[in-house]
Amino acid sequence: LTGPEFSFMCFVSGSRVVPMALAQDHKRAFDGDEGPNTGGMGAYSPLPFVTLEDEAYALREVMQRTADAMVAEGCPFTGVLYGGLMKTPQGIKVIEFNARFGDPETEVVLPRLKSDLCEVFCAVADGRDVCVEWDERAALGIVLASEGYPGAYGKGFPIGGLEGLDGVYHMGTKRDGDRIVTSGGRVLFVVGRGATLAEARAEALARVAKIDCPNLFHRTDIGHCALDDRQ
Ligand code: GLY
């Protein structure tokens, strides 16, 4: 199969399927989608290359039918169903399903959620209808990873510049006295917001530039599928 992959997460409660905003992960370590596979080096939402028709098809023919099939088999699903999908020349195809939120997609999808997440969780758990609203503004996030990741890497490097910085999620850090130090392969996830994906990327990169750590690297081209029309 060829074509851009994208992630379609839905809140599911039996046959009730409530779609989330679409996102795309970047699995390769380096710019240009080069280098080894990782747990994800960045993500963004929305996805201009997935049309409303594609999204409606994926919801109806993939996500809804999957939820309905689990009900028909006597094991209804309650929770987050993650569809790893691909837009191929032959249409939308399924690569994988996960029964969980995706990472790092979630860190760019949930900031766009205008509804109260706790309300959504309670409605899904109770099997009630829920109306979920999304913010039009784009979100784009960049992983700061330890040099060497996804291979061997060192830990314990101090991270400066975090104080007062918005949009920062901790993935592999720990407290060491008064300092925050690196403690994993993927260390921080830094999200920017904007009216467009280009603005969101500029904000994310500006935030990344404020972080001071001698042992971190990041990609600079997150969102290139949407921003340069390279797919
Ligand atoms: N980003 C891929 C996953 O969560 O499985």
Chain segment 164-197, per-residue pLDDT in tens: 999 999 999 999 999 999 999 999 999 999 999 9
Band (101; pLDDT cuts 50, 70, 90):
very high
Q: Are residues 113 and 178 in the same domain?
A: no
pLDDT at 54 over 50: yes
Q: Which long-range contacts (CB under 8 A, 24 or more apart) does 72-81 make?
A: 76/13, 76/14, 76/15, 77/12, 77/14, 78/12, 78/13, 78/14, 78/124, 78/125, 78/127, 79/11, 79/12, 79/124, 80/9, 80/10, 80/11, 80/12, 81/9, 81/10, 81/12, 81/17
Ligand 1 centroid from CA 178, angstroms: 33
**Bridge partner list, 6:** 85
Q: How confident is the model at residue 230 (pLDDT cuts 50, 70, 90)?
A: very low
pTM: 0.95
Same domain flag for 55 and 142 = no
Say how many Å lie between the CA of residue 177 and the centre of ligand 1.
Answer: 33
> What is the atom index within ligand 1 of the atom nearest the CA of 100?
4
User: Domain check: are 150 and 41 in the same one?
Assistant: no
Q: Please give the residue range of the domain that contains residue 214.
A: 138-227
Residue of 105, 107, 171 to mutate, ligand 1, most atoms within 8 A of C-beta: 105
Residue ranges around ligand 1 (CB below 6 Å): 25, 40, 98, 102-103, 105
Residue 96 and residue 193 in one domain: no
Are residues 163 and 54 part of one domain? no
